[in-house]
Amino acid sequence: MKTAATMRATLALGFPTSLARGLGRMRRLHRVLLARAGHEAGRGNVVTAAILLAVYMAS
């Protein structure tokens, strides 16, 4: 769900759809790789969503 919010925020900021989809794919791949390595994979999603939300609110 956080990846979808990140993708929506990317589109809201005016980036192309292909970039939003690519970002979503990369974030899912990154999360899967971290989970396989035994890391806490969900932390980065919260930080990224918060930063994109702050940028969106500022503009």
pLDDT tens figures, 34-53: 777 766 555 666 677 778 88
pLDDT at 43: 60
> Contacts for 44-52 with beta carbons within 8 Å, 24 or more apart?
45/2, 45/3, 45/6, 46/2, 48/2, 48/6, 49/2, 49/5, 49/6, 49/9, 52/6, 52/9, 52/10, 52/13
Flag whether the pTM goes above 0.85.
no
Q: Which range is least confidently modeled, 10-14, 15-19, 32-36?
A: 32-36
What is the residue-averaged pLDDT of the chain?
76
Q: What is the mean pLDDT of residues 18-27?
A: 80
